[in-house]
Chain A
Amino acid sequence: MADELLESADLLALGEQLREDSRRLAAAYPPRRDVAREFDDTRRRSPRRQAIALAAGIAAVGLTLWGATAWQAVPKRHGPVVDRGPADMVADATRVESLLDTTGAEVTIVPVASFEEIEVLTVPEREAVFDLLEGDTSEVSYLSI
């Protein structure tokens, strides 16, 4: 390309060299096609669509949290009942005594973290538990179901 400004030959040559270098570099490093497509995709996410996606995301997270909470609240009927280990040992003597009163079992039970597991047992299951404990003469009784 002739350039009326570049009267001197060496400046003209420099300009030509810059053009040539630009062509060579552009050929060596063309834009990745997916870059343009990524831009299109990003742009097409309209505010309305983004709001819907956000609401759906929040709903999904909420549902997951609710599910996890509900799952934890479900009593584990087949898990260990008494033997929870020292870290979980929180005394609840009143509830133990009331349980013993109702069954009349003459056993010693170390209060555990929670007796909810026993309370949710059916009456025959609870009877069976105390029958098992009745024959145990040790001060601390352990039982796993």
Chain B
Amino acid sequence: MSLIDVDDAAARYFERIHRAALIMTGNPWDAEDLAQETFCVLARESHRFSGRSSVYTWLYGILLNLDRRQRRRSGIWRNKLRVLWGNEERSPRQQPAAEGKVEVEEWKRSLWGAVATLPDGQREVLVLRFSEQLSYEEIADVMECPLGTVKSRLHHGLAALRQRITDAQADELRDVPRDVREVFPRAI
């Protein structure tokens, strides 16, 4: 028998899960799909919930897994497209649609646009800590890793973010290409 009332969980946590999905994907359309898929998985797999953690940390775990899977698929498709296109220099008009960015402008201008370029472990810790306001213990629970790893990833993630902003500022001073300026518009 399941320990989770799925309807109740959807009513309570859908907004939170949607916010995390929005921060991770950068656009509201993918965020809705990801949030819905998270709750569909919850409904399907609710019998697996043991009750050792809270429902919302379990939900965040599902969300991160789905996001990782989606990114992996997207990466595979991009690589295939690169092979198909002969890895040549292309003008933006010739680029396959799948490589085009679909994130909303507000997200791209925010620091979260830069966070998206960090490694998965650091990126996820930053989302759970600063967007979702989870405690270190809760993050460790979601990511199924030791507390020390969470703290380390958080520190290194922020340091890497600061470094990227600094680099972008330095590059701007040297009149670097426009695409880098678009990645870190606020920092410049």
Which of A's residues lie within 8 Å of B, judged by CB? 1, 5-6, 10-11, 14-15, 17-19, 21-22, 24-26, 28-32, 35-36, 38-40, 42-43
Contacts and interface: CB of A to CB of B under 8 A. Distances in A.
Centre residue among B43, B104, B111, B161 by max chain A CB count within 10 A: B111
Interface in B1-46: 6-7, 10-11, 14-15, 18-19, 22-23, 28, 31-32, 35-36, 39-40, 43
Given A14-B161, A14-B162, A18-B130, A26 B111 contact: no
A21 B162 contact: no
B35 A31 contact: yes
Contacts of A31: 14-15, 18, 31-32, 35
A5 B151 contact: yes
Interface residues of B, number: 37
- Shortest 7 CB-CB distances between A and B: which pairs? A22-B131, A18-B130, A21-B110, A31-B18, A29-B28, A26-B19, A36-B14
A36 B36 CA distance: 7
B70 interface: no
A11 B156 CA distance: 10
Decide if the interface of chain B is mainly helix, strand, loop or mixed: helix
B184 to A, nearest CB: 13
A21 B19 contact: no
B99 interface: no
17 contacts: A5-B151, A6-B155, A6-B158, A10-B162, A14-B111, A14-B162, A18-B130, A24-B106, A25-B22, A25-B106, A25-B110, A25-B112, A26-B19, A30-B18, A31-B14, A39-B36, A40-B7
Nearest to A14: B158
Interface of B: 6-7, 10-11, 14-15, 18-19, 22-23, 28, 31-32, 35-36, 39-40, 43, 104, 106-107, 110-112, 115, 126, 129-131, 133, 151, 154-155, 158-159, 161-162
A1 B12 CA distance: 23
Contacts of B106: 24-25, 28-29
B32 A22 contact: no
A122 B10 CA distance: 70
Given A31-B35, A39-B10, 16 more contacts: A5-B155, A6-B155, A6-B158, A14-B111, A17-B111, A18-B115, A18-B131, A21-B111, A22-B23, A28-B106, A29-B31, A35-B18, A35-B35, A36-B14, A39-B36, A40-B10
Contacts of A17: 111
B32 A35 contact: yes
A108 to B, nearest CB: 68
Which residue among A17, A28, A29 has the maximum number of chain B CB atoms within 10 Å of its CB?
A: A29
A16 B109 CA distance: 16
